Chain A
Amino acid sequence: MSVPVILLVEDDANDVLLIRHAFRKAGEDATIHVASDGDQAVAYLAGEGEFAERSRYPLPAFVLLDVKLPRRSGHEVLAWIRDQPVLRRIPVVMLTSSDVSSDRNRAYDLGANSYLVKPSGTTDRNEMVRLMGLYWLSLNRPPELSQ
């Protein structure tokens, strides 16, 4: 089996580094591709533009999606995903610093599989990433994404 791929949609470079670090700490052997705004996330999943080559940019096991993003918000990206014929099956985990109930409810209404709030401490973040990797990469049975 090949190394699992995660698409991390995150515009904050520091958060990207911290999340990568936490995955490494957890010993999770995964490739993390990063889209730094909503449009890039859609291009990646659609296999368009710079992400046209599927062998280099394979469909991810799940998407880690921030809510507040430039160009296209996390909610809009999520709505777009759930509107695609086959891609709509892909698990989406929201990872955001917003814990406002309206953001949370909207995400679930649009079909998010999970909603996580970014922890501030290193210990909490490492633990969250470890459990997330364990659940979505090992425990969870993925959908078929080939047409």
Chain B
Amino acid sequence: MDSDLNRVPATKLEPSSAEVPQRTDELYRLLVESVQDYAIFVLNPEGYIISWNPGAERIKGYAANEIIGKHFRTFYTPEAQADRHPEYELEVAAREGRYAEEGWRVRKDGSQFWASVTITALRTQQGRLVGFAKVTRDLTERKLAEEDRIQRYEAEKRLREELDGQATRLEELVVERTRALEDANMELEAFAYSVAHDLRAPVRAMQGFSEILLEEYGAELDETGRDYLQRIAGAADQMEGLIRDLLAFSRLGREEIRLSPVPLDLVWARTREELASEIREQRAEVAVESPLPMVRGHETTLIQVMKNLVGNAIKFVAPGARPQVRIRAEEREGRARVWVEDNGIGIAPEHRERIFRIFERLHGIEQYPGTGIGLALVRKGVERLGGRVGVESVPGQGSRFWFELPVEVSGG
């Protein structure tokens, strides 16, 4: 092997090597021989291998004596050979002086590796082509890492796209379901509204005729007959109240609410008018710490909220007790909290959430008449205005209901 290498540059490559010092020639030989990372070998002008270094043996698997004299197409895949790619490479190198590429090459054992190849044409000073120097590096690991990276990148990209697609589909689904739910909800509210509305006429007839009967024909009935008639009238009244509250509740959900500055003093003034007879009958004391603030809300809704809270405060007192109600407001962080405090029977802790649900009642109708809708209406109303409601209470010592709304800063 050594002798081969020694012989090649001296005899075939450099006919004028007489001018090259023997010592430099030796250095080159050592350099080529000690390189392990590069296959460095020489082809004659036709592509036959005429020298081989340890790097070439390491990378390609052939010993020098196995490969010297063979055509370099041996290193190519059958497809590349069929395409005459090796010949093409030499043509380019001969024409342009150099050819470089990366591609798959075949080892002695048939396995493939990713090669970085440079072919350089070797010419005499006169320009005669005497062969080619071929330098090859095994970049399989880099190539695989790169391919792996590309694959991973593409897989990641696919996953991301799939995820985006799923997210979009999910969003569409949410929109669709929300719409369906809103439709169902609206249908239900429309249904509740029309049922309640249609129930009104027969109840009105029951109320009307039983009252007329009592008034105009009461004298012709005995005590029991009058009692029964009174029960019919009372039941009809109760039903009318239930329908009225149901209608108000469903209307709260259906009607468009436009927020505007509302002075709570005005809300209280209207509420007091509507509750005038209850306040008088119960001899209730209602103290208001005015001025109450201006909030961002909706007048009609707020009157309903206030009416139910104050109405409850007056209603739920111990038998014989005189209702004392205090209405006051405090402002914190741009929100007004309105308190309606009473001296009533109070609410046990376990009931404080329940009472805000529709149709929830804690007392018999005889004890404290009502529909079970009032506080549900309060909560729905306040929430539709973007606020919150709550209650603090000590049983036997009264309740402190509150609702909170944004303060109107500009004053409208």
A14/B215 contact (C-beta < 8 A), A101-B255, A120-B240 known: no
A118 is contacted by which of B204, B209, B212, B237 (Cβ under 8 Å)?
Answer: B204
Ranked 6 nearest A-B pairs via Cβ: A14-B205, A122-B211, A18-B208, A120-B240, A97-B200, A12-B201
A14/B208 contact (C-beta < 8 A), A101-B255, A120-B240, A122-B215 known: yes
A-B contacts besides A18-B204, A120-B204, 8 pairs, CB < 8 Å = A14-B202, A18-B205, A101-B255, A118-B204, A120-B203, A120-B240, A122-B207, A122-B211
- A33 proximal to B (CB < 8 A): no
- A100 proximal to B (CB < 8 A): yes
What chain B residues lie within 8 Å of A121 (beta carbons)?
A: 207, 211, 237
| Cα–Cα, bound, A14→B204 (Å) | 9
Q: Which residues of A contact B (CB under 8 A)?
A: 12, 14-15, 17-18, 21, 97-98, 100-101, 118, 120-122, 125
Q: Which residue of B lies closest to A14 (CB)?
A: B205
Beta-carbon contact of A120 and B197 below 8 Å:
no
Q: What are some 16 contacts across the A-B interface (CB < 8 A)? A: A14-B204, A14-B205, A17-B209, A18-B204, A18-B205, A18-B208, A18-B209, A21-B208, A21-B212, A101-B255, A118-B204, A120-B204, A121-B211, A121-B237, A122-B208, A122-B215
CB distance from B36 to the nearest CB of A (A): 92
- B251 proximal to A (CB < 8 A): yes
What chain A residues lie within 8 Å of B204 (beta carbons)?
A: 14-15, 18, 97, 118, 120
| Cα–Cα, bound, A133→B37 (Å) | 116
A15/B205 contact (C-beta < 8 A), A100-B251, A122-B215 known: yes
What chain B residues lie within 8 Å of A97 (beta carbons)?
A: 197, 200-201, 204
| Cα–Cα, bound, A135→B203 (Å) | 28
Q: Which residue of B lies closest to A120 (CB)?
A: B240
CB distance from A11 to the nearest CB of B (A): 9
SS class, residues of chain B in contact with chain A: helix
Produce 1/0 per residue, B207-228, CB < 8 A to A: 1110110010000000000000
Beta-carbon contact of B209 and A14 below 8 Å:
yes
CB distance from B198 to the nearest CB of A (A): 9
How many chain B residues touch A (CB < 8 A): the figure is 17
CB distance from A107 to the nearest CB of B (A): 17
CB distance from A100 to the nearest CB of B (A): 7
Q: Which residue of B lies closest to A11 (CB)?
A: B201
A120/B212 contact (C-beta < 8 A), A97-B201, A100-B251 known: no
Which of A15, A101, A120 lies at the interface centre, i.e. has the most chain B CB atoms within 10 A of its CB? A120
Beta-carbon contact of B208 and A125 below 8 Å:
yes
| Cα–Cα, bound, A15→B209 (Å) | 10
CB distance from A141 to the nearest CB of B (A): 32
Name the interface residues of B250-267: CB closer than 8 Å to any CB of A: 251, 255
CB distance from A51 to the nearest CB of B (A): 26
Q: Which residue of B lies closest to A121 (CB)?
A: B207
CB distance from B232 to the nearest CB of A (A): 13
A98 is contacted by which of B197, B207, B211, B240 (Cβ under 8 Å)?
Answer: B197
Beta-carbon contact of B201 and A122 below 8 Å:
no
Q: Which residue of B lies closest to A123 (CB)?
A: B211
What chain B residues lie within 8 Å of A98 (beta carbons)?
A: 197
| Cα–Cα, bound, A18→B201 (Å) | 11
A122/B212 contact (C-beta < 8 A), A18-B204, A18-B205, A97-B204 known: yes
Q: Which residue of A lies closest to B200 (CB)?
A: A97
CB distance from A134 to the nearest CB of B (A): 21
| Cα–Cα, bound, A12→B200 (Å) | 11
What chain A residues lie within 8 Å of B240 (beta carbons)?
A: 120
Q: Which residue of B lies closest to A13 (CB)?
A: B205
| Cα–Cα, bound, A122→B211 (Å) | 7
What chain B residues lie within 8 Å of A101 (beta carbons)?
A: 255
| Cα–Cα, bound, A17→B213 (Å) | 13
Beta-carbon contact of A14 and B201 below 8 Å:
yes
What chain B residues lie within 8 Å of A14 (beta carbons)?
A: 201-202, 204-205, 208-209
| Cα–Cα, bound, A21→B201 (Å) | 16
Q: Which residue of B lies closest to A68 (CB)?
A: B197
